[in-house]
Structures are given as structure tokens and as C-alpha cells.
């Protein structure tokens, strides 16, 4: 029998899969299992890690880690689960296959191949994080030399909190030359905005309109200054400054529930890129993939009872989008997951850290080394697919049709959405690395001091937040970072995400989570 020695440690090298930076670090093991992470100086990030990387060790053996299949909150056995799934796949016309994050390009290819081989016609993306709209910009990887040449950097969103590993290079670039302009666009006063030469504070959710204004694209004759709250002279001045500037950079992130139209935001960024020649560097946590359908098509097919079973590969859906579950009531949902959630049929899969394959990063493709063992009950997606595909016929997955956006109509719609009703607040989402899955810190509601005083809410109080989608209670953080009439929350946990309204984007058949009207009161 092996003697257990807690002092014996081994370090396995890993690539952090939790954002698009692909930092390297070591996972430290002793005889009892994972005991933390180690910072590797010769790694791509020089040993530095953001809070997500530091929490990676906690994730691997978290008490909520899903290690066995579960059905409605109860453990199940793989043999029975596989029988059920084979039976489901046996009627491929009533099955839709979807995918969100934690799926490598190799796994995506295997899923599409599986759908082709068994004749599943409907595939769609369930990666509803707004940043997925920025995926096309990942095609041209970013090199640090691009920043050295730049004299203007335009930042969309709070990238220092969302992707802290970006901060060092940008701050040093700004300090190197006082003429270097760091322009930040956001609706909240963030840490990133704190470092800006110019901070363009826009009205909640109207970032795409300002981007269109900067790109001098306003064929709909919209009053951009009124809609965004940024004065016209500033917009014109910056627009003139960036026009034809081929060396500038645009760092872009899109947080959950932060912007009214993320697809328009991506399109506006593309137009600004064409106008200015500035390269767009996207912060996309997971590239995600398209299917041959938009997700709203899948909802329609569930409604029409064409789709009776939905199999999701990834780790977010349906747990992180509870407001969609009502829309899918007619379907049985089978979802792969890495964490335990209540309800649903859950199939344990390895975490990104435990996989071999490719990671698409801001700097290009990176190899995931694997080598860390997943829980014994977890099945890799390839193993799951080979278990399901035995003994079925062949079909063909149709290709998605090309789509074009009507930007004028979309811009008008965003401008209309900026009005806030009396006695209600706009809830916006933030993506803060420190709130990673709620492992390090729970959510808190940021509220302006004047609003807090009006509502009788004090610093250590708990507030009750109610939207049309539901309600939840959160501790309050009183701060001037949010303006009056706005409340913000780091949307990392399902209960908070469940508050956000979604719109169905008819042009793209996609789902958008948008800033939401909420009512706030002090919880007694």
C-alpha cells in the first residue's frame, strides 16, 4: 500500500482556459489531491495570474464539482443514462444539439460529425454571453508589438477588471509617453475608466450608438449626443483624431446585460475599424460556435413540438440562463456540466484545464496540455459522442445562411430603450474576474449614494431586487461608480443572471440579455 506523505508535491503545467489570454500556470498536487496553483515565471504571462487563474485550483476539487451524472438533483448511473440518451438519439428528428463554452475546436468538430452521422438536423449555439459577437475579430491575433506602435487606445468596457492581465501593458504604454491617449467608453465609472485620458461616460446600454457616431455612420439621423449623453463636440473631436489612424488599437469587451444590442456593438466596432484603420482586440472568454439555427428557432421548434429533446455540450446552458427554461418547457434537457446545479439532467464532463486540444486566444491558438485527471465519473465529450453514435444512420447538417444587419433600425431601437420609468432603476451587468463563478466573493448590488439615501438603504443592508423575470436579495455596495437611476451587479451566478430580461433578435435568431428595469427596496 502506498504511503501517503502530505509533503510530497508535484506540479503539472496547465493553460488557463477561463479567458482569452491563455496564461500558463502550475497546478500543485499532493497525495490528497489538488492543493493550489503555482506561478510559473517562464510561462507566457511571466507567472502572473488574474483571480480566475488563482481560483483554478479551487475549481478542480470544488465541493460543487459534478462527478457523477445527476437527474433532477439525484445521482444517476452512466449505464442507465447512456441507455436513455441512445434512445433519445434514436429519434434524431426530434433532437436539437446545442453548445456553449468549454468546448474545444476538436470537440466542436466531433459534435458536428456526430450530428451528421446520426441525422440530427438542428444545431444551435447556447453561448449567449454578449462577447460572442466579437468572435470574428479573433481571426487576426494580437501581438504586443501592436501596442508599442499605437498612439491611441480606445477601450470599450471594463477590461482591467474583466481581463486584468491586459492592464500592465496598457498602463505602461500610457505612462511611456504623455501624448498617448487612452479613451475609455463605458456607462459605469470603472477602474479602467480611472486610468483614462478621456472617459466617455455613455447612457446605459448605448455604447453601439457612440461607436457609430465616432465612425461618422449615422444615416438614420439619430441625435447621438442626446441618446448617449456624450456631447457632440467631443464625439467630433475624437472622430477626427482617429480617422485614418492606422496604428491605434481598440480593446473591446462586452459584459452580460450591459449593452442593449451587442450584435450592433460588434458591427459598429467593425465600421469604426474600417473608418479609423485601428485594429480591434476582442476579449472573448470562449469563442463559442454557431450551429445551423439561431436559438430562437430552437425555441420555436420546441413550441411546435418538433424538438422534444435538447442535448447541450458545454457548461453554461441551461443553468446560467434560468429565464429561458420556461420557453423550453416542452423539451427534455440533457446538459453537460462541470458544477452541480439544481434540476435538469446533468452529465459530468472534464473542465477545460483537464482537456487536451486547442484553445483559441487573443494571441492566436494555444495547445491545452491536458495531464490533469478529471473526476472518475466524468466522460470526455468525445467518449460521450462515441457512446451515443453506435448503430445509427447517416444525415447531413445544413449550413447556416448568411445574415446582414439593418444598423439604422437597430440604432433607433437602442435609442428608444434608454428611457427609464419613474421609481425604477436600470440594472446593468459587469464581468469582474474577482467574482469568478462566485468562488471568491458573492455578488453585491452597486447603488449610487443618492439613490440609496432615497430608498433608506444603508451600507450593510440587503436589498431586494425585482424585475419582470424574478427577484433576489443581495448585499448593497454604495458607490459613486454607478450613476443615479442605475444599479450594477457582477453577473456570475444563476440567481442574479435570472433577473435580466432578454430580447429575441429576429435578424440573427439570437438571444440578447439587456439592461433591465428593476425595482429596489430595503430587505427588512
What one-character DSSP code corresponds to residue 461? -
Three-class secondary structure of residue 426 per DSSP: strand
Contact call for residue 47 and another protein (CB under 8 A): yes
DSSP string over 369-404:
E--SPPPTT---HHHHHHHHHTT-----PPPPPP--
Instruction: Find out whether the peptide bond into 165 is cis, omega within 30 degrees of 0.
Output: no
Among 149, 356, 454, 480, binds another protein (CB under 8 A): 480
Among 9, 77, 143, 171, binds another protein (CB under 8 A): 171
Shortest Å distance, C-beta 478 to another protein: 11
Binding mask 136-165 for another protein (x = CB under 8 A): ------------------------xx--xx
Shortest Å distance, C-beta 201 to another protein: 10
- In the bound state with another protein, the residue whose beta carbon lies nearer, of 160 and 313, is 160
User: Interacting stretch for another protein, rule CB under 8 A, among 53-61, 63-71, 103-111, 205-213?
Assistant: 53-61
Rounded Cα distance, 371 and 493, in Å: 29
Shortest Å distance, C-beta 189 to another protein: 4
- In the bound state with another protein, the residue whose beta carbon lies nearer, of 40 and 499, is 40
Count, residues near another protein per rule CB under 8 A: 37
Among 481, 496, 512, 520, binds another protein (CB under 8 A): 481
Three-class secondary structure of residue 174 per DSSP: helix
* CB hemisphere CA count around 92 (13 angstroms): 19
Contact call for residue 204 and another protein (CB under 8 A): no
Contact call for residue 200 and another protein (CB under 8 A): no
Contact call for residue 100 and another protein (CB under 8 A): no
Calculate the CA 7 to chain-centre distance.
39
Contact call for residue 363 and another protein (CB under 8 A): no
Contact call for residue 195 and another protein (CB under 8 A): yes
Residues 412-471 that bind another protein (CB under 8 A): 433-434, 436, 440
Shortest Å distance, C-beta 182 to another protein: 11
CB within 8 A of 36, min separation 6: which ones? 27, 28, 57
- In the bound state with another protein, the residue whose beta carbon lies nearer, of 270 and 434, is 434
CB within 8 A of 382, min separation 6: which ones? 106, 107, 110
Contact call for residue 50 and another protein (CB under 8 A): yes
- In the bound state with another protein, the residue whose beta carbon lies nearer, of 60 and 388, is 60
Contact call for residue 51 and another protein (CB under 8 A): yes
Pairing outcome for strands 74-75 and 70-71? antiparallel
Rounded Cα distance, 39 and 13, in Å: 10
Decide if 310 contacts 358 (C-beta within 8 A): no
User: Interacting stretch for another protein, rule CB under 8 A, among 42-50, 66-74, 263-271, 450-458?
Assistant: 42-50
CB within 8 A of 237, min separation 6: which ones? none
Question: Which residues are paired to 428 by β-bridges?
Answer: 488
Measure Cα distances from 517 to 79, 131, 368 in Å: 46, 22, 41
User: Interacting stretch for another protein, rule CB under 8 A, among 54-62, 223-231, 278-286, 417-425?
Assistant: 54-62
Nearest partner of 361 among 250, 290, 283, 289, judged by Cα: 283
Contact call for residue 199 and another protein (CB under 8 A): yes
Decide if 436 contacts 492 (C-beta within 8 A): yes
Q: Which residues contact another protein (rule: CB under 8 A)?
A: 36-37, 39, 47-51, 53-55, 57-58, 160-161, 164-165, 167-168, 171-172, 175, 189, 191-196, 199, 433-434, 436, 440, 479-481
Amino acid at each position: 500500500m502506498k504511503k501517503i506523505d502530505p509533503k510530497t508535491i508535484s506540479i503539472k503545467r496547465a493553460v488557463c482556459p477561463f479567458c482569452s489570454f491563455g496564461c500558463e500556470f502550475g497546478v500543485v498536487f499532493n497525495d490528497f489531491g489538488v492543493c493550489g496553483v503555482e506561478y510559473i515565471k517562464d510561462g507566457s504571462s511571466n507567472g502572473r495570474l488574474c483571480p480566475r487563474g488563482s481560483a483554478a485550483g479551487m475549481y478542480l476539487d470544488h465541493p460543487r464539482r459534478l462527478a457523477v451524472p445527476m437527474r433532477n438533483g439525484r445521482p444517476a448511473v452512466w449505464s442507465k443514462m447512456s441507455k436513455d440518451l441512445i434512445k433519445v438519439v434514436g429519434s434524431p428528428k426530434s433532437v436539437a444539439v446545442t453548445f456553449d463554452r468549454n468546448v474545444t475546436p476538436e470537440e466542436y468538430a466531433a459534435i458536428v460529425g456526430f450530428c451528421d452521422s446520426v441525422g440530427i438536423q438542428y444545431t444551435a449555439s447556447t453561448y449567449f454571453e454578449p462577447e460572442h459577437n466579437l468572435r470574428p475579430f479573433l481571426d487576426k491575433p494580437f501581438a504586443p508589438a501592436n501596442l508599442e506602435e499605437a498612439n491611441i487606445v480606445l477601450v470599450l468596457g471594463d477590461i482591467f477588471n474583466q481581463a486584468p492581465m491586459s492592464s500592465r501593458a496598457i498602463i505602461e504604454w500610457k505612462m511611456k509617453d504623455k501624448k498617448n491617449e487612452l479613451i475609455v467608453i463605458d456607462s459605469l465609472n470603472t477602474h479602467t475608466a480611472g486610468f483614462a485620458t478621456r472617459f466617455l461616460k455613455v447612457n446605459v446600454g448605448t455604447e453601439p450608438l457612440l461607436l457609430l457616431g465616432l465612425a461618422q455612420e449615422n444615416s438614420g439621423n439619430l441625435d447621438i449626443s442626446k441618446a448617449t449623453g456624450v456631447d457632440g463636440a467631443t464625439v467630433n473631436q475624437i472622430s477626427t483624431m482617429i480617422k485614418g489612424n492606422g496604428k491605434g488599437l481598440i480593446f473591446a469587451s462586452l459584459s452580460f446585460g450591459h449593452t442593449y444590442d451587442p450584435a450592433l456593438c460588434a458591427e459598429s466596432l467593425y465600421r469604426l475599424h474600417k473608418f479609423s484603420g485601428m485594429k480591434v482586440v476582442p476579449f472573448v472568454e470562449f469563442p463559442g460556435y454557431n450551429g445551423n439555427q439561431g436559438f430562437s428557432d430552437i425555441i420555436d421548434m420546441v413550441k411546435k413540438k418538433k424538438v422534444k429533446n435538447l442535448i447541450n455540450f458545454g457548461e453554461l446552458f441551461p443553468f446560467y440562463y434560468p429565464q429561458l427554461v420556461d420557453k423550453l418547457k416542452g423539451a427534455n434537457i440533457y446538459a453537460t456540466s462541470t458544477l452541480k446545479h439544481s434540476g435538469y439532467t446533468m452529465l459530468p464532463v472534464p473542465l477545460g484545464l483537464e482537456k487536451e486540444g486547442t484553445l483559441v486566444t487573443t494571441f492566436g491558438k494555444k495547445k491545452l496540455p491536458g495531464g490533469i485527471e478529471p473526476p472518475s465519473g466524468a466522460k470526455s465529450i468525445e467518449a460521450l459522442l462515441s457512446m451515443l453514435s453506435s448503430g445509427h444512420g447517416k444525415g447531413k447538417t445544413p449550413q447556416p445562411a448568411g445574415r446582414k444587419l439593418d444598423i439604422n433600425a437597430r440604432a433607433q431601437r437602442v435609442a428608444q430603450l434608454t428611457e427609464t420609468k419613474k421609481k425604477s432603476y436600470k440594472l446593468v451587468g459587469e464581468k469582474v474576474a474577482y467574482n469568478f463563478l462566485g468562488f471568491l466573493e458573492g455578488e453585491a448590488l452597486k447603488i449610487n449614494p443618492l439613490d440609496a439615501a432615497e430608498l433608506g438603504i444603508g451600507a450593510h443592508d440587503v436589498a431586494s431586487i425585482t424585475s419582470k423575470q424574478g427577484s433576489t436579495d443581495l448585499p448593497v455596495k454604495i458607490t459613486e461608480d454607478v450613476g443615479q437611476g442605475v444599479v450594477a451587479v457582477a453577473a456570475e451566478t444563476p440567481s442574479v443572471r435570472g433577473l435580466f430580461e432578454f430580447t429575441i433578435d429576429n435578424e440573427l435568431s439570437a438571444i440578447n440579455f439587456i439592461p433591465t428595469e428593476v425595482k429596489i427596496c430595503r430587505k427588512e
